[in-house]
Every structure is written in C-alpha cells, then in structure tokens.
Copies of this chain bind each other. A is one copy, B any other.
Amino acid sequence: MTSPVHSPLLERVMNLSAVSDLRAAAPTFDDDFHAADIAARMVWSSVVEPGDRVAHQLIGVLGPAGALRWLEVGEKVAIDLPDPADLPDPADLREGRSRWSARLEAGNVVAQLEAAARVGAQVVIPGDDVWPPGLCDLGNHAPHALWVRGDQTTLQRLTRSIAMVGARASTGYGEHVTMELVSGLVGRHFTIVSGAAYGIDGMAHRAALADEGDTIAVLAGGIDRLYPSGHDALLQRIIAMGAVVTEMPPGFSPTKWRFLQRNRLIAAMTRATVVVEAGWRSGSLNTAHHAVQLGRPLGVVPGPVTSASSAGCHRLLREEPATCVTTSEEIVELIDGFGTRESDALEDLSPGEQRALDALSDRARSVTELAVSSGMAPLDVQSALGLLDIRRLVEQTPTGWRRRRA
C-alpha cells in the first residue's frame, strides 16, 4: 500500500507527541494508514458537533483521513472516488464545509489535543477493543471518537451495563431507591453509567463507588472540564476507580444541545436505561426516548403520584413502551428478557450487523476478508461483530470470525 498524501493539519497532528500520549493505552499500529485514521478521527471530533450526519456520511465514503483532506485541500479529491454517487448531497457538503472549516484552525486543534494529553486523557476510536459496541446502533449519528479519563478498559464491561439516570431535583425517596437499585446491580457485576449531574445521576455514581463497582460518567462538555463543578471531587473519584468519557474535545462547554446529544450516548452504550425520578420535563426523559428509539429496554421506577419528582416517570409509563421496575432483579430481567427476544428475532439487527452476518458462515474469516465481501469499512465490520457477539450470533476463533452454531 503506498503512503497516502495527508492534509497539512493531519501531518502536523500525526507528529504531535500529545497524540502518542492520547493513545498510550491502545494497541499500536505500525502502518501509516491506521495512524492517519486515528489522528484524523481526533481532528474530526474537534471539528464537528455531535450527531453531524453529513460528516459521518463523508467519512464513511472517504475514510477519516480522506475526508479531512477533502475538507482542507478542496473538492477535487472527490474525483478519486470509485463512485461519487455515494457522497452526501452537494448542498449538504457545501453547508458542512462552511460549518467545519470555521473550526479547522490548526492552532486550536493542536491546543485541544495537548490539553487532553495534559489531563491524562485517552482517545478511543471505532474499531478499538474498548469501543462500546452499542454506539454502532447510532449509525450516522455515532461519535467519531471518545475522550476518556480513567481506566478505559471499564468501557469493555459495557456489555453488562445499566444507564441509571434521573432528576437533578431528586428527593430523599429517589436517592434512597437509587442507592438500593445500584447496590443490587453492582452485586450482579453490572457497570453503572450516568451523567454525573446533581441528584439521581450523582447518587448512582456514588452508590456504585461505595460498593466498589464499575461506573462510567458521560459528560456533555470537554474532558478537561469536569462538570458540574460541584461534582469535581466525585468525578475525580470516578476517574480513579472507573472512567469519565465524552465525545466533545477539550475546551468545549456543555451546552443544551450537547446535553441532549450526550444523552443519546448514555442510552446507546448501555444495555438498558432506568429512570428513577424525573420531573414532567426532565432531561432524563430525553435519555429514555433515545433508549426507546435505539430499541433498548426502558425501565421506570414509579413513585408517589403526589411527587412532582416522579411525574416524568409516570408519564413515561403512560406514553412509552416502558417497564415498571421496583427492584434490581426486575432491572436484570429487563435485559435478560430483551436479550432472549433479540437472539430470537434476527430481524432486529441493524443494517450493519445484518450485512456483517450475511458475510459470515461456518468457516472463520478475518475482518479484512469480511470487509471485502460485505463492502463495509473494516472498522464498521469490527463494531458489527462486537454487537453480533453480544447477541451470541457469532464467535471469534484463532483464525477469525464465524457464525455461532445454535
């Protein structure tokens, strides 16, 4: 493979010592192709807002480094394409270019990467062992990279995880119930994921830490600013014992939009979402909606109908396909029942999973082989295999992947 020509920014980023630091915990790739891919994903993470569909499509066609070259060098790159018809709509691309170019200032990007390295963060990208397979279900709205502080291998335990979210304005009742439920889940080796907010979120993390369980906080802003500031000590403890992650690059503040996007990550990376207390318009209803849209089970803890802090929970029970849960056993049942349903119903597979499964047989195949036969990018194949593995539809052998026999 001849060395691709990189964009000037990408060349500069690839030579940063900060980038090596940010990948210190990841397996190393000797080839230039992978190194460029990884660095380009970091840059894209800096350049786009969460959920930017057009950037996703572009990267899907050109690859992260190629897409970055298109953005920096100009539209003529597109003529190298096997089929330009795969590109996003030209009008979308023009708008995208103007959005992304504004942030494509080398000094800024480098400063962000160095800020991340300074706080000891790692960058995790699709295809990494620790990349949460559930994020695959976000399709064109998946993040390009995750910025992680703490032990990034905690992410591997997301295959057995619960998102436990709820109102900032929690009551003693909600906090007590959160503590009980989390304690039961941690005792069953579940990883507790939440948003580090005041109220139920904070209590969920605290309860997990108290029982020495795994916990992951997903932030809406940059990894260098622990938010909310009142939870600085809590977040430092999570970094020490679990992981704090975000898709926003350093320096970015948590805005309303980013909170909503953060919620989609919480719903996508976990096996089920449980809402403990929620006001009528609580942000945790948004996480719940994401869980439902992603086909994840949604558990809701009821409360007194006289409590405004439970009004959103009762609303979910009325308006969504939510299950009333009152104990940690019932939360586990939520997933067990769901897992069974999933493996029974192959039609529940995402397009990527279906294509990867179609390319598999009884004979073991390498990821590269599968990428060729499925027409998918190798990283997407790997993500899809991770998900199919959770569903127990495939298995990894020393010589590659194959379908699991019933």
A residues at B contact (CB < 8 Å): 173, 176-177, 301-306, 310-311, 314, 317-318, 323-327, 330
A305 to B327, CA, bound (A): 8
Interface centre among A177, A323, A324 (most CB of B within 10 A): A324
A303 to B305, CA, bound (A): 7
User: Which A-B residue pairs are the 3 nearest by beta carbons?
Assistant: A302-B302, A317-B324, A305-B326
Contact A324/B302 with A317-B317, A318-B330, A330-B318 known, Cβ cut-off 8 Å: yes
Which chain B positions have C-beta within 8 A of A306?
173, 176-177
Min Cβ gap A403→B in Å is 35
A326 to B311, CA, bound (A): 9
A325 to B311, CA, bound (A): 11
Which chain B positions have C-beta within 8 A of A305?
177, 301-303, 326-327
Main secondary structure of the interface of A (DSSP, over half): mixed
Is A324 a contact partner of B318 (Cβ separation < 8 A)?
A: yes
Which chain B positions have C-beta within 8 A of A311?
326
Which chain B positions have C-beta within 8 A of A323?
318
Min Cβ gap A298→B in Å is 13
Which chain B positions have C-beta within 8 A of A176?
306
Min Cβ gap A151→B in Å is 33
* CB<8 Å pairs between A and B, sample of 10: A301-B305, A302-B303, A302-B324, A303-B303, A303-B304, A304-B304, A311-B326, A314-B326, A318-B324, A318-B325
A302 to B304, CA, bound (A): 6
Min Cβ gap A82→B in Å is 53
Which chain B positions have C-beta within 8 A of A177?
305-306
Which chain B positions have C-beta within 8 A of A302?
302-305, 310, 314, 317, 324
A310 to B326, CA, bound (A): 10
Min Cβ gap A371→B in Å is 44
A305 to B276, CA, bound (A): 11
A304 to B324, CA, bound (A): 12
Q: A302-B305, A317-B317, A318-B325 are in contact. List 4 more A-B contacts (CB 8 A).
A: A177-B306, A302-B304, A302-B317, A318-B330
Which chain B positions have C-beta within 8 A of A310?
302
Contact A324/B314 with A173-B306, A303-B302, A304-B303 known, Cβ cut-off 8 Å: yes
A305 to B330, CA, bound (A): 12
Which chain B positions have C-beta within 8 A of A325?
318
Q: Which residue of B lies closest to A318 (CB)?
A: B324
Q: Which residue of B lies closest to A177 (CB)?
A: B305
Contact A324/B326 with A302-B303, A302-B314 known, Cβ cut-off 8 Å: no
Which chain B positions have C-beta within 8 A of A301?
305
Which chain B positions have C-beta within 8 A of A303?
302-305
